[in-house]
Amino acid sequence: MTRPATLHTPARPELRIGDRWTYRIDDRLRKAHYEETRSVVALDGETITCEQQSDAPGYAGGRWIYTREWNLLSRPALAAPGDTEEDAGRWVWTPAFPLFRFPLVTGDRAAGEARVANAVTGTSNLHRYERTVLGRVAIRVPFGGGLPAAASPNPAPGAKPAVGIRSREIEVWRVRYLARVTVEGSDPPVTWLNEERYDYAPPVNAIHSMTHRVTGPDGAITRHAESVLLRYERG
């Protein structure tokens, strides 16, 4: 595990109860679009509890629990319509989903194993992962782009885009997560490849955009989704 020095890094997220993010989800395989919301409903020294919902079919809505660095600890399992959490259980990470470690530092890498298990169904998956902070990246977003005006370079009070200017450039911190995920107890072993990329935006204390692709044991892509922030509301 390495942690090279850098001159400029974002601090740990500064959150409030009531903070809310709305994302657009593009399902590349099904050519469908959805919205997902994440609202902070509880905070303590160790965890962030969010109510998350989506209009995507089969979305595991409910209470998602994270560390104070936005690393997932537990979430509801995918459920059939009408199922309760008692029916479907929760996925619990041990240790927490190893995505962020603040302050983010360009080139910081970590590799290891993490297990996600559902006690109700008796299933567990082992992630053999590698996470890398790729560094600051400039991306173009629609004017506004879900970020507050203060995220714009030297914004004037009440500033509006010039005629014909529909986008602007912002800086995000890009993190790559790669994992080979094995279904424990499977014989022969069943392994999936997860490829994920996250763009963390300090002005909104959360992810601005992400891509997620899953390749199955047979080499077929089973999930390919992209998400981008539409709105950010401060609590």
pLDDT 10s digits, 180-201: 999 999 888 899 999 999 999 9
For residue 137, the one-letter residue type is V
The whole-model pTM stands at 0.86
Sequence-separated (6 or more) residues with CB below 8 Å from residue 55: 34, 35
210-227: average pLDDT:
96
Residue-range definition of the domain harbouring residue 226: 20-154+164-233
Distance CA 98, CA 89 (A): 22
Q: Is the peptide bond before 188 cis (omega within 30 degrees of 0)?
A: yes
Name the nearest CA neighbour of 135 among 97, 169, 108: 108
Name the nearest CA neighbour of 73 among 52, 51, 95, 102: 95
Number of helices (H), then strands (E), in the chain: 1, 12
Q: Is residue 197 part of a domain?
A: yes
pLDDT-based confidence at residue 78 (cuts at 50, 70, 90): confident
Residue 163 has pLDDT above 50, yes or no: no
Q: Is residue 126 part of a domain?
A: yes
Name the nearest CA neighbour of 77 among 93, 92, 66, 88: 88
Q: Is residue 75 part of a domain?
A: yes
The pLDDT assigned to 8 comes to 52
Q: How many CB atoms lie within 10 A of CB 127?
A: 20
Q: Is residue 65 part of a domain?
A: yes
109-120: average pLDDT:
96
The pLDDT assigned to 95 comes to 96
Which segments within 101-162 are labelled E, that is strand?
109-118, 123-142
- Residue 181, SS3 per DSSP: strand
pLDDT over 70 percentage in the chain: 82
The pLDDT assigned to 4 comes to 47
DSSP 85: H
DSSP 120: T
pLDDT-based confidence at residue 167 (cuts at 50, 70, 90): confident
pLDDT-based confidence at residue 118 (cuts at 50, 70, 90): very high
Residue 72 near residue 64 (C-beta atoms within 8 A): yes
The pLDDT assigned to 153 comes to 41
Distance CA 205, CA 207 (A): 7
Q: Is residue 38 part of a domain?
A: yes
Q: Is residue 5 part of a domain?
A: no
How many domains is the chain partitioned into structurally?
A: 1
Q: Is residue 191 part of a domain?
A: yes
Q: Is residue 10 part of a domain?
A: no
What is the dihedral sign for C-alpha 20, 223, 66, 3?
Answer: negative
Mean pLDDT across the chain, nearest whole number? 87
Q: Is the peptide bond before 103 cis (omega within 30 degrees of 0)?
A: yes
In tens, the pLDDT along 6-35 reads 445 678 899 999 999 999 999 999 999 999
